[in-house]
Amino acid sequence: MAVKRLDNIGIVVEDLGAAIDFFQELGLELEGRATIEGEWAGRVTGLGDQHVEIAMMRTPDGHSRLELSRFLRPEVVADHRNAPVNALGYLRAMFTVDNVEETVERLRTHGAQLVGDVVRYENAYKLCYIRGPEGLLIGLAEELG
């Protein structure tokens, strides 16, 4: 049996509104918001009785989604927002953009900070990492040529 597709990547945040604003500025579209709660959901996650606000963000091509979650219950128990790039586990989400420098400047109004430098990889890409809302590590790539 083969994987059919990657449906979404999930990111837990404290401020759902700020995260939505940031990813909308990046170019993702808000597909919808919902509240997920109850025993059935807790059976999926192993967290028991949970209450979560979610927002589903869609890339403009419609093929990829980012699920932003804010847990109201149970309390968040770990924080990876300040982990360095070489930390084990989730690293970053990478987005292809039209213009890296312009995108970084637009996202600065939402608190984004450049992690290192914007660099050129051969004649193929311009690349950088930024820290978005709540320290989320986001990669940006601009195709060259």
Sign of CA pseudo-dihedral 93, 23, 134, 110: positive
Note whether 27 and 65 are same-domain residues.
Answer: yes
Of 43, 73, 103, the last residue of a domain is 73
- Read off the pTM: 0.87
In terms of Cβ atoms closer than 10 Å to its own Cβ (0-12, 13-18, 19+), residue 12 is buried
- Residues 55 and 97 both lie in one domain: no
Q: Identify the pLDDT of residue 141.
A: 94
Strands (E), 1-145: 9-12, 29-38, 50-58, 65-73, 93-96, 113-114, 119-121, 125-131, 137-143
Residue ranges making up the domain that contains 136: 93-143
Would residue 41 count as lying in a domain? yes
pLDDT for 1 equals: 64
pLDDT digits 0-9 by tens, 41-97 = 877 888 888 899 999 999 999 999 999 999 998 888 888 777 777 887 777 889 999
Q: What are residue 73's DSSP bridge partners?
A: 51
Q: Note whether 63 and 119 are same-domain residues.
A: no
